Amino acid sequence: MARFDPYENNGGTCVAVAGADYCVVAADTRLSVGYSILSRDHSKIAQLADKCVLASSGFQGDIKALQKALAAKELIYEHNNNKKMSCPAMAQLLSNTLYYKRFFPYYTFNVLAGLDTQGKGCVFTYDAVGSYERTGYSAQGTGSALMMPVLDNQLKSLVLSYCQLRTFNTKLLLVQDAVTPLSESDAVDLVKDVFASATERDIYTGDRLEIVVINSSGTHRECIELRKD
């Protein structure tokens, strides 16, 4: 007997890389279902606050609902506290919102990124039910398994790995050392290359790449073409 399946995977991949004073967020713009393409020009990146951006892949219906819920909660926060939400505050809110639906989850794979209260780049990576962690970089979505090893190779520092082996309390070290020493243009170059590579091998990733760079001067958006097959 065929039961109604409430979920669907619309594919796509999201990536974010944190720098000393910038943050790069990128996602492809392909929306698919099964073997068909629904749209070649659908953005997966939503601006939640001034210096805070959410990139999500997974089930588009749940993504839209989640973005709406977060925007509403952000507005209430502004009214109550007379200030805009910071990125780490939004990170906690997203985690709570996801866990609230622990037994009928949002089918969303999120990467929250922006600048923290000190102006340093921050990236938060989530699973579908709200487990999150601040990291220096992350990839989520259908192409994430293809991208993470390359990002690990290029961005993970030797010092960080050594410390992880020697101490039990790695969280402190992770936060301090959680940004890449790469320049903004090098980070953007790496993200473009890694997306072009993932597009070669993942059928759900492709069409166009949307890159958002957040730094002290604001938010800058750029698009490059990817393989359309």
Partner 1 sequence: MTGSMDLPAKGGFSFDLCRRNNMLQKNGLKLPGFRKTGTTIVGLVFQDGVVLGADTRATEGPIVADKNCEKIHFMAPNIYCCGAGTAADTEAVTDMVSSQLQLHRYATGRESRVVTALTLLKSHLFRYQGHVSAALVLGGVDCTGPHLHTVYPHGSTDTLPFATMGSGSLAAMSVFESKYKEGLTREEGIQLVSDAICAGIFNDLGSGSNVDVCVITKGKTEYLRNHQLPNPRTYASSKGYSFTKGQTEVLSTKITPLKQKVEVTEGGDAMEE
**In the complex, which residues of this chain contact partner 1 (CB under 8 A)?**
32, 34-37, 142, 154, 158, 161-162, 165, 186, 189-190, 192-193, 195-196, 199-204, 224-229
Give me the least distance between CB of 35 and partner 1, in Å please.
5
Which residue number, 198 or 214, has a Cβ lying nearer to partner 1? 198
Which residue number, 78 or 193, has a Cβ lying nearer to partner 1? 193
Distance of alpha carbon 129 from alpha carbon 176, whole angstroms: 26
Return the residue matching tokens 């790496």.
Answer: 190
Give me the least distance between CB of 188 and partner 1, in Å please.
10
Q: Looking at this protein, which amino acid is placed at residue 154?
A: Q
Which residue number, 16 or 211, has a Cβ lying nearer to partner 1? 211
Distance of alpha carbon 60 from alpha carbon 66, whole angstroms: 10
Which residue number, 36 or 82, has a Cβ lying nearer to partner 1? 36
Which residue number, 194 or 214, has a Cβ lying nearer to partner 1? 194
Where are the alpha helices (H) located in 138-183, listed in sequence order?
144-155, 158-166, 170-176
Give me the least distance between CB of 109 and partner 1, in Å please.
14
Taking CB atoms within 8 Å and a gap of at least 24, the contacts of 68-73 are: 69/97, 70/94, 70/97, 73/97
Structural contact between residues 188 and 213, judged by C-beta atoms closer than 8 angstroms: yes
Give me the least distance between CB of 119 and partner 1, in Å please.
27
**N-term to C-term CA, the chain:** 35
Distance of alpha carbon 210 from alpha carbon 13, whole angstroms: 11
Give me the least distance between CB of 55 and partner 1, in Å please.
19
